[in-house]
């Protein structure tokens, strides 16, 4: 579904050239949930913007559904770290914003909006304004807006990072449920190892800048997953420990 071949990204700034990503080769299968983890500045968000067509790679190629990515696509949706809801628009109007921008037929998408709001537990809040909602509820609205056009690919850039720990886990469980009901390929950027393990089919670990693909860790744990006591808690802990070890700096004695 998504393929990156020998992708590198170099930025030219006032302080010189910054190598953000180097020689990334990665394939994401249709309907797969992949999380990207790595230290700050390793190029996770840069990779996501390139897949979205918001940024062109310095070298290498990116394809979605076999087509080269040269600009934003209608079948690829992007969910940012902040909800970015328009404060003067109601919940329903914010969800329908992409429909207006893309000039899509309103009636079927209105039904779709109500279905999505029901899916995330916001039935009855359609006429509320963003300031009347909690942070977690605002992100649920943002998620509905990202899904309104039935995207084939959903790109999520640390969408839960500004929320408290309990709300983050609650939304992670909610996203698992939505993903099981909605056929969508997802790439999810996070700094949280626990979040990565809860959500992913595979976790892509990037090295420190320049970001290189260090390892891809499969997460073969039945869904739904939680961080609490359950039949698969030992496996969740095991995968989390492996990711922690991969992300830790190398000891000084191991540096050539």
SS (H, E, C) the chain: CEEEEEEEEEEEECCEEEEEEEEEEEEECCCCEEEEECCCCCCHHHHHHHHHCCCCCCEEEEEECCEECCCCCCCEEEECCCCCCCCCCCHHHHHCHHHHHCCCCHHHHHHHHHHHHHHCCCCCCCCCCHHHCCHHHHHHHHHHHHHCCCCCEEEEECCCCCCCHHHHHHHHHHHHHHHHHCCCEEEEECCCHHHHHHHCCEEEEECCCCECEEEEEECCCCCCCCCCCCCCHHHHHHHHHHHHHHHCCCCHHHCC
For residues 61-80, give the mean pLDDT: 92
Q: Residue 207 pLDDT > 60, yes or no?
A: yes
Q: How do residues 146-205 score in pLDDT, each as one tens digit?
A: 999 889 999 999 988 878 888 888 888 788 888 877 778 999 999 888 889 888 999 999
* Domains along the sequence of the chain with CATH: 28-55+64-75+154-232+243-248 (3.40.50.300), 84-150 (no CATH)
Q: Look at residue 256 and tell me whether its pLDDT is greater than 60.
A: no
Residue 65 confidence (pLDDT) above 60? yes
Q: What is the mean pLDDT of the chain?
A: 88
pLDDT of residue 166: 82
Identify the pLDDT of residue 198: 86
């Amino acid at each position: 579904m998504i393929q990156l071949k020998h992708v590198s990204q170099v930025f030219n700034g006032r302080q010189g050239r910054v190598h953000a990503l180097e020689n990334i080769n990665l394939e994401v299968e249709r309907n797969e949930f992949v999380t990207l983890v790595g230290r700050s500045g390793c190029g996770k968000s840069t990779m996501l913007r390139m897949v979205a067509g918001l940024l062109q790679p310095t070298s290498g190629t990116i394809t979605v559904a076999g087509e080269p990515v040269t600009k934003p696509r209608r079948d690829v949706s992007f969910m940012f770290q902040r909800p970015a809801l328009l404060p003067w628009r109601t919940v329903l109007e914010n969800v329908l914003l992409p429909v207006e921008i893309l000039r899509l037929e309103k009636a079927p998408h209105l039904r779709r909006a109500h279905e999505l709001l029901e899916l995330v537990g916001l039935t009855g809040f359609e006429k509320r304004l963003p300031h009347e909602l909690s942070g977690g509820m605002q992100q649920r609205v943002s998620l509905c807006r990202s899904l309104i056009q039935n995207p084939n690919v959903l790109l999520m850039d640390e969408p839960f990072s500004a929320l408290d720990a309990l709300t983050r886990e609650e939304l992670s469980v909610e996203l698992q449920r939505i993903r099981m009901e909605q056929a969508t390929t997802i790439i999810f950027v996070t700094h949280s190892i626990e979040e990565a393990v809860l959500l992913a089919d595979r976790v892509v670990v990037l090295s420190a800048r320049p970001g290189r693909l260090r390892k891809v860790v499969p997460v073969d744990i039945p869904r739904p997953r939680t961080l609490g006591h359950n039949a698969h808690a030992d496996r969740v802990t095991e995968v989390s420990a492996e990711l922690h070890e991969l992300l830790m700096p190398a000891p000084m004695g191991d540096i050539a």
